[in-house]
Amino acid sequence: AQSVTQLGSHVSVSEGALVLLRCNYSSSVPPYLFWYVQYPNQGLQLLLKYTTGATLVKGINGFEAEFKKSETSFHLTKPSAHMSDAAEYFCAVSASGGSYIPTFGRGTSLIVHP
């Protein structure tokens, strides 16, 4: 079984401030982890993913995330927020060696203030 918990349904930051969106996962086998972004009334777009290897992964638009096995976490960060980053962000997990069906968290809405 696998699950994802995103801490905070809404995160509010000022433009230029650090963005930190939290994701914790549960998986009985080594996980594959993903972050997606969704703009209003659109589908999801992949930001970054972790499968194996380097635990710090870089994605599009300046985002990065670090896989921490001991903490079962995969938090998403960006050093400096832009207004265009305002969107809904979803963390997802799929299990290696299993059916690979991705399970999504409930999402975090990022609000960026001028």
Interface contacts to other proteins, rule CB under 8 A:
6, 9, 32, 34, 36, 41-46, 49, 51, 90, 92, 94, 96, 99-107
> For residues 28 and 45, which CB has a smaller minimum distance to other proteins in the complex?
45
CA–CA separation, 6 and 25 (whole Å): 9
Continuous segment of H or E residues that includes residue 10: strand 10-14
Cβ-based neighbours of 70, under 8 Å, separated by 6 or more = none
> For residues 62 and 98, which CB has a smaller minimum distance to other proteins in the complex?
98
> For residues 45 and 84, which CB has a smaller minimum distance to other proteins in the complex?
45
